[in-house]
A and B are shown apart, each in its own frame.
Chain A
């Protein structure tokens, strides 16, 4: 089974040289720590940065320079700053190659819910609806089951939707799965030490298992 960093590490292998990538808040942010040397990517932050760098050194933080998670960040050489309309313009026009974000639920048709739990939590969708409606490639980083042990990979989302038919790939603490266009989660890889049986038990939506499922290498 993977921890949060393990999920981030596995997702980092999906990031290819030359990509423009938008990382969501939470586990997706950790992906930046595991991008292999020699793979050059440009990180987009939807509040208006291309070429976002690491956190600043202590004492060098600047109130005018934050990421979409409102954390202080730095800029890398070649970076650019732009306004919010331009930022979502490049997202809508599919200039950003890869979007990695978290989810509360994903359906076997690629629908995603991640912004609201009626009566409990309403934080807002932020840029998530814009990102999922337009992104060419979306990878979701999430826990396979919730704290009560219930599956979050469902036949149909129960929570209010963020977007429909958009998720392509999911990485959880248990597995890597592909969302098929005709519906269903196709099992691609198992996390170290996790059996196909365990993944079946944790997946409420349609799970497609074809042949031998390899254990992921990290």
Chain B
């Protein structure tokens, strides 16, 4: 088996340079690559374009890179929980492209499937449609307009999985799966950090979510805070 293991987040991110385009996994703060983000903050590289569903919160997740003014452009679907983000966007320091969540997921999938465009009805008739080709299709008896959306092209994809093996096969846990599998498929170089790194043969091949062919570098994250955005509970 090909061995994809690197030592740590520093080694995994060593060739990410200024002005790189990064796809970053996670939904809110759930399933985000905490260790790679910390390494990028430490590296201090600038001018990044980050494509991720959210932009973290002020002091965690991608919010750390924003705080440090390392992100030039953010492509996301929802950015509601971040005051610094809002400030940078309104002041024009940060370029922002908001896109529908399903479109974001499917543009990743298209990249991983080798398909340059997808057609989706999401955003037809809205400002999301501006400048995009629109085509009408009849499918399952319904005639609708669809927007042409492009597969992402990113230098690096950075994801977080629960378990991974040395060949790069990944298993995710509960809703920490979210965008991670499709983002893993979409990078020219994909970096995966995992909570548990095991030898080949230890993961059940029937249970693999992301085949190792999509993963170029894998390492065990040094520590995981796994912060919860909104703790909601009921009394026993």
A residues near B (Cβ < 8 Å) are 45-49, 54-67, 69-73, 75, 81-85, 87-89, 91-92, 111, 122-130, 133-134, 160-164
| Among B30, B81, B209, residue most surrounded by chain A Cβ atoms (within 10 Å) | B30
Q: Tell me the bound Cα distance from A124 to B32 in angstroms.
A: 19
Instruction: Determine if B182 and A72 form an interchain contact, defined as CB atoms under 8 angstroms apart.
Output: no
- Chain A nearest Cβ from B171, distance in angstroms: 12
Give residues 17-61 of B contacting A (CB, 8 Å): 27-31, 53
- Chain A nearest Cβ from B69, distance in angstroms: 19
Which A residue sits closest to B103, measured CB to CB?
A130
- With A47-B27, A85-B108, A123-B79 as contacts: A63 and B226 at CB distance below 8 Å: yes
In the assembled complex, 18 residue pairs joining A and B whose CB atoms fall closer than 8 Å, in A order, are A56-B234, A59-B233, A65-B175, A70-B27, A71-B229, A71-B232, A81-B175, A84-B104, A85-B108, A124-B77, A125-B101, A126-B101, A129-B103, A129-B126, A133-B124, A162-B126, A164-B124, A164-B126
| Among B79, B103, B125, residue most surrounded by chain A Cβ atoms (within 10 Å) | B125
Q: Which of A61, A82, A126 makes the CB contact (< 8 A) with B77?
A: A126
Which A residue sits closest to B110, measured CB to CB?
A85
Instruction: Determine if A133 and B179 form an interchain contact, defined as CB atoms under 8 angstroms apart.
Output: no
Q: Tell me the bound Cα distance from A87 to B174 in angstroms.
A: 14
Instruction: Determine if B127 and A160 form an interchain contact, defined as CB atoms under 8 angstroms apart.
Output: yes
| Mask: chain B, 222-236; 1 = CB below 8 Å from A; 0 = not | 000011111111111
- Chain B nearest Cβ from A169, distance in angstroms: 20
B70 close to chain A: CB less than 8 A: no
Give residues 87-116 of B contacting A (CB, 8 Å): 89, 96, 98-106, 108-109
- With A48-B175, A61-B233, A64-B174 as contacts: A85 and B124 at CB distance below 8 Å: no
Collect the chain B residues with CB atoms within 8 Å of residue A73's CB: 232
Collect the chain B residues with CB atoms within 8 Å of residue A130's CB: 100-103, 120, 122
- Chain A nearest Cβ from B103, distance in angstroms: 7
Collect the chain B residues with CB atoms within 8 Å of residue A163's CB: 124-126
Instruction: Determine if B121 and A92 form an interchain contact, defined as CB atoms under 8 angstroms apart.
Output: yes
Instruction: Determine if B228 and A72 form an interchain contact, defined as CB atoms under 8 angstroms apart.
Output: yes
Collect the chain A residues with CB atoms within 8 Å of residue B231's CB: 61, 72
Q: Which of B27, B28, B99, B235 makes the CB contact (< 8 A) with A84?
A: B27
Collect the chain B residues with CB atoms within 8 Å of residue A61's CB: 228, 231-233
